[in-house]
A and B are shown apart, each in its own frame.
Chain A
Amino acid sequence: MIRLNNLVAAYRTGRGSINAVDGVDIEIPDRCILGVAGESGCGKSTLMKVLYGDVLSPMSLASGSIEYGFNDDQNKPVTSDTIQKQWFKRISYVPQSSMSSLNPVVKIGKQFVDFPGHEPNKRKVMEQVKTYIGKLGLPVEILDSYPHQLSGGMRQRVMIALATFFQPELILADEPTTALDVVVQKEILLLLMELQEQMGNTIILVSHDMGVHYQITHRMLIMYAAKAVEYGESDSVFAAPLHPYTRMLISSLPTIGDESARNGIPGSPPSLWGELGGCRFAARCPLATDKCRAEEPPLVEHKPGHFAACHHAGSEIPAAGEPIWQ
């Protein structure tokens, strides 16, 4: 189980410091695919950076900690202070842009054995790499190619192969299919699901596409303006979302075969620079009352395993009339 203890990540800037992740406090069970959703600027990517231990100035871990629930080679539990030593071994990362993550002037095969060590060792690893990429549906010839010779889908498979080769306990995937076409996206997502089942590890997947989350995740975390606003089992979150933001996110995009009008979510999230009193979604929320504007709702368990931060959790949203287009 991965435990995030009241995590606060701050960026230091010329105008002062802002909290891009502000007090996220959740437990992620083992062997699950966790989906993280929210609009741009809500802190999804910062949360991933903190989880990966890639905390570089101007970002800092202002307070809180992470317990990863697995031990290092000395049998000590890994925490946010020691996670960097576990990169690729127990935690790995699949980035959004495979083109800018692979070295353009080194052949794919060489990038697999890009670690310090002796030659015979590398040859042995190379044999394992060949069998492994075969399992992922990649031809062996790609090891002799440069990244630009492969298609986007193939490159993303190579990234997944690199990230999963050592069977890490935790894989972070930040929008792994956003740059891909729907047909290739489906193949990559099915591959991730299959690998997760075989290896029994945890995957944390960031995506803005609620359809992707519905297809592959076990649990969902919805973020809004640096806060966790809803967290729970995917089935429960999609069947009966508690937070009005989640509800609007799920129903904001059209589906084929459904003619009903879709509105999107009017307005934009509050600036993290300003005064942030009360519920951060209040200005865009159809259910907002004076209580919402005055008092910040805590993330509480409304149903077993289903958390939400809302004073009106589970209330129906009044039906909108005319499609809003402004």
Chain B
Amino acid sequence: MAVILRTEGLNKDYRLGGFGRAKIITALDDVNINVESDRPVIISVVGESGSGKTTLAKTLLRLVEPSAGRAIVYDKVVAGKGAQPSKRDFMKSVQPIFQNPFEAFSRYRPVDAYLFETADRVAGLQAKEAEASVDHALVAVGLDLADVRGKYSNQFSGGELQRISIARALIPDPSLIVADEPVSMIDASRRMIIINLFKRLRDEQGRSFLYITHDLATAYYISDFVAVMNKGRVVEFGAARDVMGNPQHDYTRLLLSSIPTTRSRWRPRSRIAG
């Protein structure tokens, strides 16, 4: 079985203030996750804001250097001591999708420029090959190059732009895609289109995802594994159905009981007088 994602004692401290009054904030506190599987998987990281979810994503994307420990993706050390691959190799195996698609694309540049730039600089494809790979990636997310060419970000809806940024991530043929809150800026009625797309890319193209979210319901819907984070620690980790169906840690139970569902009410409502 291949190691899809493993973190070994991953630690990240941020220093606030300077000199004698420096305050240390531990954003990641001894994070150990191990996912081994033959099939591609979707791993969710859930928790409240400030729990360290985004720092974990940034560490895996090499945007921040961990203070201690290391992370392994598909048998390659990508962060921490002994990180092997060169930048280009790394970007070919791990690709990001960010929260706000309107901020990910500049308003003054056509969106297809981003796609061709990724094809050129990361995947090393030019001319005809680049065009073919961009078109292939766009078709995988339900668009095609003719729809996108020469258009600017304000000519797309949030959902379409997010699909274009997923297409951009697909161009270098990565094995792991790190998606940090990819649907929180998208209208609730169209969120599931993106979520179903992740599932489809996992099953049909063999991509693994690290899905970072505070929305436990969508995490339950798509993930194979779930890590629950609180204050920089992973408090519960395991197969998604086990963790959410039979939570062991008090914090996981608290999170699950706080979701507003349309099944049962927290408390009865008062009657309308008159």
Say whether A associates with B. yes
Among B187, B218, B269, the residue within 8 A (CB) of A193 is: B269
Contact, CB under 8 Å: A255 / B218: no
A193–B193 alpha-carbon span in the complex (Å): 33
Whole-angstrom distance between the alpha carbons of A12 and B244 in the complex?
A: 50
- For A196, the chain B residues whose CB sits under 8 A away are 270
Residues 162-220 (chain B) with a chain A CB within 8 angstroms: 187-193, 195-197, 199-200, 214, 216-218, 220
A326 B266 Cβ-Cβ under 8 A: no
The interface residues of chain B lying within 8 Å CB-to-CB of A254 are 192, 195, 217-218, 220-221
CB proximity of A218 to chain B, nearest CB, Å: 5
Question: B195 to chain A: which residues have CB within 8 Å?
Answer: 254, 262
Asked if A264 meets B189 with Cβ closer than 8 Å, knowing A181-B49, A215-B266, the reply is: yes
CB distance from B223 to the nearest CB of A (A): 11
Instruction: List A214-273 residues whose CB lies under 8 Å from chain B.
Output: 214-216, 218-219, 238, 248-250, 252-257, 261-266, 268
B272 within 8 A of A: yes
Report B-chain residues with C-beta under 8 Å of the C-beta of A256.
216-217, 220, 244, 256, 259, 261
Task: List residues of chain A with CB within 8 A of the CB of B256.
Answer: 256
Contact bitstring B90-102, A, C-beta under 8 A = 1, else 0:
0000000000000
Give per-residue flags for A40-60: 1 if the beta carbon is below 8 A from chain B beta carbons, else 0.
100000000000000000000
B interface footprint on A177-216 (CB within 8 Å = 1, 0 otherwise): 0000111011001100100110010000000111110111
Which residues from B are CB-within-8-Å of A189? Answer: 260
B254 within 8 A of A: yes
Among B48, B191, B220, B244, contact of A264 (Cβ-Cβ < 8 Å):
B191
For B274, the chain A residues whose CB sits under 8 A away are 29-31
A263 contacts B261, C-beta separation under 8 Å: no
Q: Which of B250-269 contact A (CB under 8 A)?
A: 254-256, 258-263, 265-267, 269
A contact face: mostly helix, strand, loop, or mixed: loop
Contact B260 A253 (CB under 8 A): no
How far is B272's CA from A197's CA once the two chains are assembled, in angstroms?
10
Contact indicator A263/B192 (Cβ below 8 Å): yes
Q: Is the CB of A137 closer than 8 A to any CB of chain B?
A: no
B253, chain A: closest CB distance, angstroms:
11
Q: How far is the CB of A53 from chain B (nearest CB, A)?
A: 25
Q: Find chain B residues with CB under 8 A from A209 CB.
A: 188, 260
Kindly state whether residue A83 has any CB partner on chain B within 8 Å: no
**A326 cross-chain contacts in B, Cβ below 8 A:** 142, 193
For B262, give the chain A residue with the smallest CB separation: A214
Would A252 and B245 count as touching, CB distance under 8 A? no
Contact A266 B261 (CB under 8 A): no
Point out the residues of chain A lying under 8 angstroms from B191, CB to CB.
252-253, 264
- Number of B residues with CB within 8 Å of any CB on chain A: 42
B245 in contact with A218 (CB, 8 Å) = no
Asked if A115 is an interface residue, CB under 8 A from chain B, the answer is no
List chain B residues, Cβ under 8 A from A162.
Answer: none
Q: B residues 51-71 with Cβ under 8 Å of A? A: none
A29 to B190, CA, bound (A): 32
**A266 and B258: CB pair below 8 A?**
no
Query: Which of the residues A197, A214, A324 comes within 8 Å of B193, measured between beta carbons?
Result: A324
For A182, A209, A210, the residue with the greatest tally of chain B CB atoms inside 10 Å of its CB is A182
Q: CA A185 – CA B159 in complex, angstroms?
A: 26
Which residues on the B side are within 8 Å of A116 (C-beta)? none
The reply to whether the CB of B146 lies closer than 8 angstroms to some CB of chain A is no
Instruction: Determine the chain B residues whose CB is within 8 A of the CB of A211 once the complex forms.
Output: 259-262
What's the nearest-Cβ distance from chain B to residue A280, in Å? 14
The interface residues of chain B lying within 8 Å CB-to-CB of A21 are none
B22 within 8 A of A: no
Which residues of A have CB within 8 Å of B48? 181-183
| CB closest chain-B residue, reference A152 | B49
Q: Which of chain A's residues 138-164 have a Cβ closer than 8 Å to chain B? A: 152
Q: Does A170 contact B (CB under 8 A)?
A: no
Q: Is B16 interfacial (CB 8 A cutoff)?
A: no
A253 and B192: CB pair below 8 A? yes
Instruction: Name the distance in Å between A30's Cβ and chain B's nearest Cβ.
Output: 6
Contact status A190-B266, CB under 8 Å: yes
| B248 within 8 Å of A (CB atoms) | no
Given known A-B contacts A183-B258, A185-B258, A266 and B193 have beta carbons under 8 A apart: yes
Q: How far is the CB of A288 from chain B (nearest CB, A)?
A: 17
Task: Pick from A30, A212, A257, A265: contact of B189, CB below 8 A.
Answer: A265
Interchain CA distance A254-B193 in the complex, whole Å:
12
Within 8 A of B (CB), among A24-43: 29-33, 39-40
**With A30-B273, A190-B267, A252-B189 in contact, is A325–B196 under 8 Å at CB?**
yes
Most central of B157, B197, B221, B244 by chain A CB within 10 Å: B221
* Docked-complex contact A268 and B260, CB < 8 angstroms: no
Closest CB pairs A-B (n = 3): A211-B260, A264-B192, A326-B142
Of the A-B pairs whose beta carbons lie under 8 Å apart in the complex, a sample of 11, sorted by A's number, is A183-B48, A183-B254, A193-B269, A208-B188, A252-B188, A254-B195, A254-B221, A255-B262, A255-B263, A257-B220, A325-B200
Could you list 18 further interchain pairs (A-B, Cβ under 8 angstroms) beyond the known A152-B49, A219-B272, A256-B261?
Answer: A30-B272, A39-B188, A39-B190, A185-B258, A185-B260, A186-B266, A209-B260, A215-B260, A252-B191, A253-B188, A255-B263, A261-B196, A262-B195, A263-B193, A265-B189, A324-B193, A325-B142, A325-B196
